[in-house]
Amino acid sequence: MPIRTVVWGENVHEQTNRTVAALYPGGMHRAIADALNADAGISATTATLQEPEHGLPAARLAETDVLLWWGHAAHDKVDDAVVARVVEAVWAGMGLIVLHSGHFSKVFKRLMGTPCNLSWREAGERERIWLASRAHPIARGLPDHFEIEMEEMYGEPFGIPEPMETVFLSWFQGGEVFRSGVTWRRGAGNIFYFRPGHETYPTYHNPLVQQVLRNAVHWAHNPAPRIADATAAPNRPVGEALEPLTERGGKLHQPGEEGFR
Amino acid sequence: MPIRTVVWGENVHEQTNRTVAALYPGGMHRAIADALNADAGISATTATLQEPEHGLPAARLAETDVLLWWGHAAHDKVDDAVVARVVEAVWAGMGLIVLHSGHFSKVFKRLMGTPCNLSWREAGERERIWLASRAHPIARGLPDHFEIEMEEMYGEPFGIPEPMETVFLSWFQGGEVFRSGVTWRRGAGNIFYFRPGHETYPTYHNPLVQQVLRNAVHWAHNPAPRIADATAAPNRPVGEALEPLTERGGKLHQPGEEGFR
Amino acid sequence: MPIRTVVWGENVHEQTNRTVAALYPGGMHRAIADALNADAGISATTATLQEPEHGLPAARLAETDVLLWWGHAAHDKVDDAVVARVVEAVWAGMGLIVLHSGHFSKVFKRLMGTPCNLSWREAGERERIWLASRAHPIARGLPDHFEIEMEEMYGEPFGIPEPMETVFLSWFQGGEVFRSGVTWRRGAGNIFYFRPGHETYPTYHNPLVQQVLRNAVHWAHNPAPRIADATAAPNRPVGEALEPLTERGGKLHQPGEEGFR
Amino acid sequence: MPIRTVVWGENVHEQTNRTVAALYPGGMHRAIADALNADAGISATTATLQEPEHGLPAARLAETDVLLWWGHAAHDKVDDAVVARVVEAVWAGMGLIVLHSGHFSKVFKRLMGTPCNLSWREAGERERIWLASRAHPIARGLPDHFEIEMEEMYGEPFGIPEPMETVFLSWFQGGEVFRSGVTWRRGAGNIFYFRPGHETYPTYHNPLVQQVLRNAVHWAHNPAPRIADATAAPNRPVGEALEPLTERGGKLHQPGEEGFR
């Protein structure tokens, strides 16, 4: 069965900025989903901010193996209930790929526990992406470096937790560097952040960028059944202890009582 | 100058449970602060839930090098504004030591980005704490293992991100294990989680537990000046680029405009 | 195509100790390979110390996707040239699963860069293995904990580098704990260490242990083409620089010269 | 007591290359030691390849808190016995700072377990070093970025294990990037690799480079007593088990016997 993938797009600048609309007539989310669907092992659909529940009702998330997230101008318009739902789906095993300006999305900040800040410049400068981890699954079929002729600059320091793996590093024409492809695991969910993708440039039409995204979907997919109780904190009563045990000392809790949280 | 340390205590069960009140007549926070003050390099005071702003107004946090956090029954009573303030102080360089049931505090969950869940049993069983990282600063002066005769059990799986370092692992009489001493860095802040400390047992009177806490304060202390703008995302305009740069391509932002967040 | 897997066994105690010979009449390597071959996605063969080049000539390693390593009494009998060959194959992308007493093998110590030491006791005690990373691929189909009724004890501190992921932790009847399932990446090679497997007990006949090993083979397999020049340090001459560059300053190297190493 | 620091220099090109000799008349090791001694908390001496035991007899290493290592043309001239001694001292708690071309030293490769390879170009190009971890102790007093006008280029992929922390990243004029300041812990020893330092340029006269080295000495220093038995694998006999235990099952070892290694 192909990997059930949802591309979430904020879909704001596509409606308000002529450059963006011309580059992505169907929206960036549509362009990304099309690129993913070129891989027979992936089945990608889209969701947007403007749909009810931002297109991410619980039933749909339950059937989503990997979610891609692109947002920029409307991070604060994303409903906190949907954010909580997405975060819990990641903990339960859904893969998550956060794109470009999604570094400041509520979802990403919540999962990282850090400010996720950086420096930036919108000047259409050259970005060169270097592979730091050879033969990594996310780099399948890619050369050791490739260029995106016009991109927004993101510069270090990047306010993230130390990643599980550093896959890509970027060089910028104006003199900055950036950790452009980095992975983490949060609960049972695999997370990949990928830097390129400013909306006024044709980045998502770049075949190598598309290849990274397809690879990342495969990498992020956790085929294990979704964890049903990803936040549970079960009591293991004395009577069911794995080794013989006699209760001692003072107590707070009555038998069968739930813990505090 | 000694390390300016604040011990935050929820201070609920000390008022409502006779066992806890008898063990810690001045409150657990007071017992912990006293243990820290036995070290001339530490100057510890206390703060509690019941004080205005939970005893953690911005001015006090600005002068706190390391914060210890013990909470259990009243996690949801902690004001979100105070939580945000503490989290930002950590990002800016304040050390944080999270104790026992503080695993479910808003502060810890926010900084981890994971559920922080575990299994548990209140049976006064024996816990044996093993050192996993020899000669680690947090283990200064400690043997390779030591016992706490009566403790609450916390069992794996523990819902945390993979730590920077695993310092202690616990063995429990009833058959479970737990990562009892683990470190992370979030922004400029050093974070240590230390498992023991159930309120119905005399754990914080244990000299070795006290030694761990003193060591941890020294380890968590970042002597660098607090970062003033820990969440800033500065624009680096083309005119000030470090390398010669000519602007190209479509644009979203006007010169001098702030980025979206 | 199934994952081409080689189970390397030292094959010493099977020949010299009656208990071991009775438990594993065909050798432990054979029992492990049989367990792996129960999975249609794996094609496992064996190699032993006593074969020419220990059964691991370069041509065979080149066609090995994943290597399992069990050694104990004869670590120092393993030829350094074969060790170097295995280590380089890992860097180039071969998966490696190190079993039990293999913690002291030359191959493992070379890849870890640490002493890989631990404490131990041969008393046939109960080991309980706990899952620390829920829904991890190596734990597919496994419960949150399972027991091995008789095993050798290995205790912390375990002299390894901080792992990429901590998958399993062990509880021992005699009071110790251990990081029993841990992963690293070295070059393009995925490495998994799995603790159980003392030769005087029937551990490799345990269905759950067998399941872990099958899962680990799938996890360790890097389907990317083997890196041809995993240790190369290429010169990038000025004339081929990616950005315009004029040579300046003093020089050590003549054009076309190789670097020192 | 100041941190007892030894700067190890290969001291070859200082004797054979006029440019290097002119830049570092007393040798690079001398220039580095002088820079360290500007800090009253550090007491630095030097050692070179040409001295007996390369200037690193066991007695001297036992009194060395932090060792800096610069080598390039003569890695293979370093005696394996001295390498083993240095590696074991790191495991036992000695700090290690590996400089520039020391990435290919036997000591570093042994501690990393990876090829430690990279791409390179000697063209006197501009390197800009960016801070990735704000307020890190190794970056004390440094700006968010600084430049070295002429340096050798080192480019990714850099064949190292994923670091504990990424402190610095480099941008190069010719289009490459590099992880220039990275940390690990191996046993009780803290390790820092710092990229700049090609011998034909005046890098070690740069005040900011000197500041990094002084900071790194403080960071790498583990004040705990050196571990006496960093490679020991002690038996914990049944009779001394921490919990009641009855021996069962088959055996390999006689009471009191040492384990295999």
Contacts of B187 in chain D (CB under 8 A): 134-135
pLDDT surpasses 90 at C159: yes
pLDDT per position as a tens digit, D197-255: 999 999 999 999 999 999 999 999 999 999 999 999 999 999 999 999 999 998 888 88
pLDDT per position as a tens digit, B39-91: 999 999 999 999 999 999 999 999 999 999 999 999 999 999 999 999 999 99
Residue C201 DSSP code: S
Counting as contact any 3 or more CB pairs under 8 A, the partners of A are B, C, D
Inside any domain, residue B56: yes
**Angle at the Cα of D110 from the Cα atoms of D106 and D114, rounded to 5 degrees:** 105
Instruction: Look at B130 and C179 and tell me if their CB atoms are within 8 Å.
Output: no
User: Is A157 an 8 Å CB contact of chain B?
Assistant: no
pLDDT band at A55, cuts 50/70/90?
very high
- How many CA atoms within 13 Å lie on the side-chain side of B101? 25
Chain B: nearest CA to C257, how far in angstroms? 31
Report the alpha-carbon distance of residue D116 to residue D160 in Å, rounded. 5
pLDDT for the residue numbered A153: 98
DSSP bridge partners of B6 = B45, B67
Cβ-count burial of D76 within 10 angstroms (0-12 exposed, 13-18 middle, 19+ buried)? exposed
Report the alpha-carbon distance of residue A138 to residue A118 in Å, rounded. 23
The answer to whether the beta carbons of residues C188 and C147 sit under 8 Å apart is: no
pLDDT surpasses 90 at B168: yes
Residue C25: CB atoms within 10 A of its CB come to: 10
The answer to whether the beta carbons of residues B73 and B36 sit under 8 Å apart is: no
Distances in whole angstroms, Cα of residue B133 to Cα of each of A258, B166, C232: 34, 7, 34
**Angle at the Cα of A25 from the Cα atoms of A21 and A28, rounded to 5 degrees:** 85
| CB environment C148-185: b (16+ within 10 A), e (fewer) | bbbbbbbbbbbbbbbbbbbbbbbbbbbbbbbbbbbbbb
**Angle at the Cα of B114 from the Cα atoms of B104 and C130, rounded to 5 degrees:** 85
Q: What kind and span of H or E run contains D107?
A: helix D106-112
Contacts of C240 in chain A (CB under 8 A): none
From edge to edge, which strands make up the β-sheet containing B95-99? B42-48, B3-9, B66-70, B95-99, B189-194, B177-186, B165-172, B119-131, B145-155
Q: Which of C177, C183, C185 to mutate to test the interface with B (most CBs of B within 10 A)?
A: C177
User: Is B122 an 8 Å CB contact of chain A?
Assistant: yes
pLDDT band at B179, cuts 50/70/90?
very high
The answer to whether the beta carbons of residues D157 and A131 sit under 8 Å apart is: yes
Residues in chain A: 261
**Angle at the Cα of A28 from the Cα atoms of A27 and A31, rounded to 5 degrees:** 95
User: Is C112 an 8 Å CB contact of chain D?
Assistant: yes
Q: What is the DSSP string of C9-31?
A: E--SHHHH-HHHHHH-TT-HHHH
Inside any domain, residue B125: no
Mean pLDDT of chain D: 97
User: Is D204 an 8 Å CB contact of chain C?
Assistant: no
Residues in chain B: 261
Instruction: State which residues form the domain around D79.
Output: 3-113+179-220
pLDDT for the residue numbered A69: 98
pLDDT band at B259, cuts 50/70/90?
confident
Inside any domain, residue B63: yes
Nearest to D155 among C162, C230, C236 (CB): C236
pLDDT surpasses 90 at B227: yes
**Interval C229-246 mean pLDDT:** 95
Contacts of B93 in chain D (CB under 8 A): 135
pLDDT surpasses 90 at D93: yes
pLDDT for the residue numbered D257: 79
pLDDT per position as a tens digit, D54-63: 999 999 999 9
Contacts of C176 in chain B (CB under 8 A): 130, 171
pLDDT for the residue numbered D254: 81
Mean pLDDT of chain A: 97
DSSP bridge partners of B80 = none
Residue C74 DSSP code: T
Residues 167-186 of A with CB under 8 A from D: 169-172, 175-177, 179
Mean pLDDT of chain B: 97
Report the alpha-carbon distance of residue C64 to residue B219 in Å, rounded. 45
Contacts of B131 in chain C (CB under 8 A): 156-157
Pairing of the two strands B165-172 and B145-155? unpaired
pLDDT surpasses 90 at B254: no
pLDDT for the residue numbered B256: 79
pLDDT for the residue numbered D129: 98
Q: Kindly state the greatest CA–CA separation across chain D.
A: 72
Distances in whole angstroms, Cα of residue C75 to Cα of each of C46, C79, C199, D230: 18, 9, 15, 19
Inside any domain, residue B152: no
Work out the percent of chain C whose per-residue pLDDT is above 90: 95
pLDDT surpasses 90 at A235: yes
Instruction: Look at A132 and D156 and tell me if their CB atoms are within 8 Å.
Output: yes
- Minimal Cα distance from D167: which residue of B? B188
Mark out the alpha helices in B93-187 (DSSP H runs): 106-112
pLDDT for the residue numbered B87: 98
The answer to whether the beta carbons of residues B70 and B197 sit under 8 Å apart is: yes
pLDDT per position as a tens digit, C48-70: 999 999 999 999 999 999 999 99
Nearest to C199 by CA among C69, C16, C24: C24
Report the alpha-carbon distance of residue B164 to residue B150 in Å, rounded. 29
DSSP bridge partners of A48 = A9
Inside any domain, residue C122: no
Contacts of C223 in chain A (CB under 8 A): 137
DSSP, collapsed to helix, strand or coil, labels residue C75 as helix
Counting as contact any 3 or more CB pairs under 8 A, the partners of D are A, B, C
**Interval D67-79 mean pLDDT:** 97
Residue A1 DSSP code: -
Which residues does D34 contact at the CB level (< 8 Å), separation at least 6? none
Inside any domain, residue B229: no
pLDDT for the residue numbered C257: 79
pLDDT for the residue numbered D201: 97
- Minimal Cα distance from A185: which residue of B? B161
Residues 52-111 of D with CB under 8 A from C: 72-75, 91, 101, 104, 110-111
**A179-188, A220-229, A248-257, C96-105, range with the lowest pLDDT:** A248-257
**Angle at the Cα of A178 from the Cα atoms of A175 and A181, rounded to 5 degrees:** 145
Distances in whole angstroms, Cα of residue C43 to Cα of each of C4, C7, C32, C115: 5, 11, 12, 33
Pairing of the two strands C95-99 and D177-186? unpaired
Report the alpha-carbon distance of residue D72 to residue B213 in Å, rounded. 44
Mark out the alpha helices in chain B (DSSP H runs): 13-16, 18-23, 28-37, 58-62, 80-92, 106-112, 207-220
Domain CATH for C82: 3.40.50.880
Instruction: Look at C134 and A188 and tell me if their CB atoms are within 8 Å.
Output: yes
The answer to whether the beta carbons of residues D170 and D127 sit under 8 Å apart is: yes
pLDDT band at B17, cuts 50/70/90?
very high
Instruction: Look at C162 and B164 and tell me if their CB atoms are within 8 Å.
Output: yes
Q: Is the dihedral of CA D243, D245, D250, D251 positive or negative?
A: positive
User: Is A238 an 8 Å CB contact of chain B?
Assistant: yes
Q: List the structure tokens of C27.
A: 């050798």
Q: Is the peptide bond before A157 cis (omega within 30 degrees of 0)?
A: yes
Distances in whole angstroms, Cα of residue D24 to Cα of each of B122, C252, D17, D30, D198: 66, 15, 11, 8, 12
pLDDT band at C259, cuts 50/70/90?
confident
Inside any domain, residue D233: no
The domain tally of chain D equals 1
Contacts of B132 in chain C (CB under 8 A): 156-158, 179
pLDDT surpasses 90 at D259: no
User: Is B252 an 8 Å CB contact of chain D?
Assistant: no
pLDDT for the residue numbered C57: 98
User: Is D16 an 8 Å CB contact of chain C?
Assistant: no
Inside any domain, residue A22: yes
The answer to whether the beta carbons of residues B217 and B42 sit under 8 Å apart is: yes
pLDDT band at A258, cuts 50/70/90?
confident
Instruction: Look at D260 and C20 and tell me if their CB atoms are within 8 Å.
Output: no
Residue A172 DSSP code: E
Residue A77: CB atoms within 10 A of its CB come to: 13
The answer to whether the beta carbons of residues D17 and D199 sit under 8 Å apart is: yes
From edge to edge, which strands make up the β-sheet containing D42-48? D42-48, D3-9, D66-70, D95-99, D189-194, D177-186, D165-172, D119-131, D145-155
First to last CA, chain B: 39
pLDDT surpasses 90 at B261: no
How many cross-chain Cβ pairs, A to C, lie less than 8 Å apart? 47
Report the alpha-carbon distance of residue D149 to residue D153 in Å, rounded. 12
Query: Does ipTM top 0.90?
Result: yes
pTM above 0.90, yes or no: yes
Q: Which of D148, D169, D180 to mutate to test the interface with A (most CBs of A within 10 A)?
A: D169
